[in-house]
C-alpha cells in the first residue's frame, strides 16, 4: 500500500486542489451575503457582487467628481512607488551589510549585535517617532518599510553567507583571490538568489507597514483609501481594495519567483524554496 506521504496529485489534480479553497470561500460568502441581504437589503457588512462591480466601476473607471482622478489607479501608483522604493533600498542595504557581516569579522563584530537589536524593535512602535522626526511626507512612509524589513533581511543574508562551504573560500584564496574578488566572484552569485527569497518573504510585512503609514498620514494610496471610507462602512469598496492589494502582492511574488528560477536555476535544483 502506498503511503499518503508518497502519493502526489496530477497536474490537473493540483490545479483543482489549489482552486478548491477559493471556491469554497466564495461560496460561503455568497450564502452568508444572500442570507443577510434577505433580512436587510441595505446591509453593508456583506454586500452583493453587484455592489462590488458598481464600486469597482466607480473607483477605477469613473473620474472623481472632486479631483477628476481615477482613484483606484492613483492610489495604486502612489502605494507602489512607496513600496518599490522601500523594498529596493532595503534589499540593497541587506545585500551590502549582510555579505559584509558574513565575510568580514571586523564588520560583523560591531554591526551584527546592532542589527539583531534593531530586528527586535516593533516597527509600528516607532511610527510616531518617524512622523515627528521626518514629517508626514513620503520619507517617513518609506523609512517605516526600510526599518521594518531590512534587519531581518540582513540577518538572513548573513546566515546564508556564513553557511557557504569553507572549502570554496579557501580554494579561491589559494588561487589568489583578494577579499573584494572573493565577495564579488564567489559569495555574491550564491547570495543573490537568497536575497530574492528574502524579498519574497518580507513582501507581506512591507505591505503591512505601508498600509499602516498611509492610514495615519497620507492623501492618496491604497491604505489611505481603505481607512478613509471605513467611516462610511463602505465594504463594497474596502473588500475590492483588499483583494486588489492581494493580487498585486501575488503578482510581485510570482514575478520574483520566475526571475529567481530563470536567473539561478541551480539554486532551485539544489532545493531552493519557491
Secondary structure in 3-state letters for 156-206: HHHHHHHCCCHHHHHHHHHCCCCHHHHHHHHHHHHHHHHHHHHHHHHHHHH
Q: Which has the minimum average pLDDT: 1-10, 97-106, 140-149?
A: 1-10
Residue 220 to residue 193: CA distance in whole angstroms: 34
Average pLDDT over residues 100-123: 91
Residue 142 to residue 136: CA distance in whole angstroms: 11
Q: Which has the minimum average pLDDT: 88-92, 148-152, 216-220, 246-250?
A: 216-220
> What pLDDT was estimated at residue 231?
82
pLDDT at 91 over 90: yes
Could you tell me what percent of the chain has a pLDDT over 70? 98
- 103-134 burial: b if 16+ Cβ within 10 Å, else e: beeeebeebbeebeeebeeebeeebeebbeee
pLDDT at 36 over 50: yes
> What pLDDT was estimated at residue 28?
93
Q: Which residue has the higher pLDDT, 177 or 153?
A: 153
> What pLDDT was estimated at residue 271?
63
Q: Which has the minimum average pLDDT: 71-75, 89-93, 178-182, 242-246?
A: 178-182
Residue 168 to residue 108: CA distance in whole angstroms: 20
Residue pLDDT, tens place only, 42-58: 888 889 889 999 999 99
The whole-chain average pLDDT of the chain stands at: 89
pLDDT at 170 over 60: yes
Q: What is the pTM of this model?
A: 0.87
Q: Give 1's pLDDT tier (boundaries 50, 70, 90).
A: low
> What pLDDT was estimated at residue 274?
44
Q: Which residue has the higher pLDDT, 150 or 270?
A: 150
Residue 96 to residue 160: CA distance in whole angstroms: 13
Residue pLDDT, tens place only, 172-209: 888 887 888 888 888 898 999 999 999 999 999 999 99
Amino acid at each position: 500500500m502506498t503511503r499518503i506521504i508518497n502519493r502526489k496529485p496530477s497536474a490537473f489534480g493540483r490545479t483543482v486542489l489549489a482552486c478548491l479553497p477559493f471556491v469554497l470561500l466564495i461560496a460561503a460568502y455568497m450564502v452568508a451575503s444572500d442570507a443577510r441581504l434577505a433580512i436587510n437589503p441595505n446591509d453593508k457588512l456583506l454586500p452583493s457582487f453587484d455592489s462590488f462591480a458598481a464600486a469597482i466601476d466607480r473607483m477605477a473607471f469613473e473620474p472623481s467628481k472632486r479631483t477628476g482622478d481615477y482613484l483606484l489607479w492613483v492610489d495604486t501608483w502612489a502605494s507602489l512607488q512607496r513600496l518599490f522604493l522601500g523594498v529596493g533600498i532595503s534589499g540593497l542595504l541587506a545585500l551590502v551589510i549582510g555579505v559584509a557581516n558574513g565575510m568580514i569579522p571586523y564588520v560583523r563584530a560591531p554591526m551584527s549585535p546592532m542589527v539583531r537589536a534593531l530586528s527586535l524593535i516593533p516597527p509600528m512602535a516607532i511610527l510616531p517617532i518617524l512622523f515627528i522626526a521626518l514629517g508626514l511626507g513620503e520619507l517617513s512612509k518609506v523609512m517605516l518599510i526600510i526599518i521594518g524589513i531590512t534587519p531581518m533581511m540582513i540577518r538572513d543574508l548573513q546566515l546564508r553567507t556564513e553557511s557557504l562551504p569553507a572549502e570554496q573560500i579557501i580554494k579561491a584564496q589559494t588561487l589568489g583571490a583578494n577579499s573584494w574578488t572573493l565577495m564579488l566572484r564567489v559569495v555574491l552569485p550564491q547570495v543573490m538568489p537568497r536575497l530574492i527569497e528574502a524579498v519574497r518573504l518580507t513582501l507581506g510585512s512591507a505591505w503591512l507597514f505601508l498600509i499602516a503609514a498611509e492610514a495615519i498620514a497620507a492623501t492618496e494610496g491604497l491604505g489611505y483609501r481603505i481607512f478613509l471610507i471605513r467611516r462610511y462602512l463602505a465594504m463594497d469598496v474596502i473588500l475590492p481594495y483588499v483583494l486588489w492589494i492581494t493580487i498585486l502582492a501575488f503578482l510581485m511574488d510570482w514575478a520574483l519567483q520566475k526571475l529567481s528560477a530563470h536567473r539561478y536555476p541551480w539554486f532551485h535544483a539544489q532545493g531552493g524554496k519557491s
